[in-house]
Structure 1
Amino acid sequence: MEARTEKVTVADGSFDLHLWLPASGRGPAVLLVQEIFGVGPYIRKVAEDLAALGYVVGAPDLFWRIEPGWEAEHTEAGTLASMEVASRLDFTHAVSDAAMALAHLRALPEATGRSGVLGFCLGGSIAYVLAASVETDALLSFYGSGVPDAVGLMEKISCPALLVFGGNDPYIPRDQVAKVEGAASVRPNVEMYVAEEAGHAFHNHEAAQFHHPEAARAVWAHTAAFLARHLPVT
């Protein structure tokens, strides 16, 4: 699997866009939006899994203004350090950077034209807001804590969307997930996936405190099927 790093230039500088290519060398583009731990082992493994499905995957370094190249271990200390870094992130800048990264990704010669965005945790919130502001062909948002308070943006998301939550998430209480379910129920393009037995970040195999293996396997199968329907590899 080929991987390389691109540079994305914005008004106040430039940042890394880590890129993974499928075996075919070409495919639909997926912007992969990081969690608070940075573009580390977990995000890289997700990128490899997406590339194995046939996608051109780009993961931008959204902490570049604060801590360029930030990576932290999925430990208590790493979580606390990452939360401190994330607390200094300008969310509006992050969404704008993600939009620029998506445009850069789409323009690559390896990208075949269609594109989607997938984000985890912090990235799930960024991906959700991004899809409400730019055109994309698919949105996948995993346990974005900002989504319940931004349900009003859902009407601006026109692409097929998959919103994933854990039903036992201490950071996103079940009544907040229900709020999202209510908004999604009248949006035919929005699909909810709630793993009732799982908590926050349950797909993250790098974080023993969060990972729920059975729920992780099930949601990834669902994710692959969603992508095959709405962002098919031809």
Structure 2
Amino acid sequence: MAAFTSIPTLEGDARFDVFVARPEGAPKAAIVVIQEIFGVNEGIRRKCDSWAAAGYLAMAPDLFWREKPHVELDADIGEELQAAFGHMQKFNQDQGIRDIEATIKAARAELGQGGKVGLVGYCLGGRLAFMSACRTDGDAFVAYYGVGIDGLLNEQHAIGKPVLLHVPTADGFVPPDVQRKMHEGLKDNRHVTLHDYEGLDHGFAAEMGARRNEAAAQLADGRTADFFAAHL
């Protein structure tokens, strides 16, 4: 069963919506799915459904709620792509991390004592997953084509849990020099693993639409599933 529900902010001064997909039986752990700039759209909800089918409690927070709740946009439609960039520019990432932390807290409350929470994010969500590895108490973190991670390397000393980064080498938003900085800057961090995907562009693991590369998406998603199985 899957539906939106509301949870409190960390401060307790407001509530915001989270899409929740639950497994049939008791969840073995929780996965927080962090949206792209297109909101908690059908693709993100499908990812939650897939994690629930695999036995996890899956939760996708609506991170743009302070500006406009329930944004749902399509990357393949030019006007909606431009609208997504507009939402991203208005988005406060530090507040977003606090909303992610609130989602982790809600997941742990549902799991009960000792329950573990993994995080997986895409695009903007990939960046936020890396930031979460530095700033939250999640248990394992995965970033798909995270943008601007090179500018966050000075926070990596705070990483204490496993992190997996999926890096397409032809990413139009993460140029080769940035990728080199990521590899060089993270090579000595024992908690972080990077996988390159040769010749692939941003968004290759989108659940639906023209950006998806089926073979690469399945490879990356398989690695993610194995990573969470090992660490949650």
Q: What TM bracket, shorter-length normalisation? A: over 0.9
- Per the TM alignment, residue 112 of structure 1 is displaced from its structure 2 partner at its CA by 5.9
DSSP 3-state at the match of 2:202: coil
Q: For the Cα contact (< 8 Å) 1:18–1:58, is it kept in 2?
A: yes
- 109 and 145 in structure 1: CA distance in 2 versus 1, 3 angstrom threshold: closer
Aligned residue in 1 for 2:55 = 54
Supply the distance in 2 between the matched residues of 1:186 and 1:69 (Cα, whole angstroms).
40
Pairs within 5 Å for 1:194-233: 194-208=196-210, 210-231=211-232
Pairs within 5 Å for 1:54-93: 54-74=55-75, 75-93=77-95
- Per the TM alignment, residue 123 of structure 1 is displaced from its structure 2 partner at its CA by 0.8
* Number of aligned residues: 229
- 124 and 111 in structure 1: CA distance in 2 versus 1, 3 angstrom threshold: farther
Q: For the Cα contact (< 8 Å) 1:31–1:102, is it kept in 2?
A: yes
DSSP 3-state at the match of 2:164: strand
Supply the distance in 2 between the matched residues of 1:152 and 1:196 (Cα, whole angstroms).
27
TM-score (norm 2): 0.93
Q: Which runs of 5+ in 2 are unaligned?
A: none
DSSP 3-state at the match of 1:193: strand
DSSP 3-state at the match of 2:30: strand
Aligned residue in 1 for 2:144 = 142
Aligned residue in 1 for 2:119 = 117
Letter in structure 1 aligned against 2:30: A
Q: For the Cα contact (< 8 Å) 1:163–1:193, is it kept in 2?
A: yes
Letter in structure 1 aligned against 2:81: T
Supply the distance in 1 between the matched residues of 2:97 and 2:24 (Cα, whole angstroms).
30
Supply the distance in 2 between the matched residues of 1:110 and 1:156 (Cα, whole angstroms).
26
Aligned residue in 2 for 1:100 = 102
1:7 and 2:9 aligned: no
- 182 and 66 in structure 1: CA distance in 2 versus 1, 3 angstrom threshold: same
Q: For the Cα contact (< 8 Å) 1:105–1:111, is it kept in 2?
A: no
- 222 and 134 in structure 1: CA distance in 2 versus 1, 3 angstrom threshold: same
DSSP 3-state at the match of 2:126: helix
TM-score (norm 1): 0.92
Aligned residue in 1 for 2:188 = 186
Letter in structure 1 aligned against 2:73: A
Q: For the Cα contact (< 8 Å) 1:143–1:163, is it kept in 2?
A: yes
DSSP 3-state at the match of 2:166: strand
Q: Which runs of 5+ in 1 are unaligned?
A: none
Supply the distance in 2 between the matched residues of 1:179 and 1:85 (Cα, whole angstroms).
27
- 218 and 66 in structure 1: CA distance in 2 versus 1, 3 angstrom threshold: same
Supply the distance in 2 between the matched residues of 1:127 and 1:78 (Cα, whole angstroms).
24
DSSP 3-state at the match of 1:27: coil
Q: For the Cα contact (< 8 Å) 1:26–1:110, is it kept in 2?
A: no
Per-residue Cα deviation, 1:183-213 (whole angstroms, up to 9, x for no partner)? 22101111101111211011014231x2222
Letter in structure 2 aligned against 1:116: G
- 18 and 205 in structure 1: CA distance in 2 versus 1, 3 angstrom threshold: closer
Supply the distance in 1 between the matched residues of 2:212 and 2:167 (Cα, whole angstroms).
13
Which contiguous aligned blocks of 4+ residues in structure 1 show a shift greater than 6 angstroms? none
Supply the distance in 2 between the matched residues of 1:185 and 1:155 (Cα, whole angstroms).
13
Supply the distance in 2 between the matched residues of 1:21 and 1:130 (Cα, whole angstroms).
23
Aligned residue in 2 for 1:127 = 129
Per-residue Cα deviation, 1:84-118 (whole angstroms, up to 9, x for no partner)? 11111111111111111111111114786111111
DSSP 3-state at the match of 1:49: helix
Per-residue Cα deviation, 1:109-152 (whole angstroms, up to 9, x for no partner)? 47861111111111111111112112221010111112111112
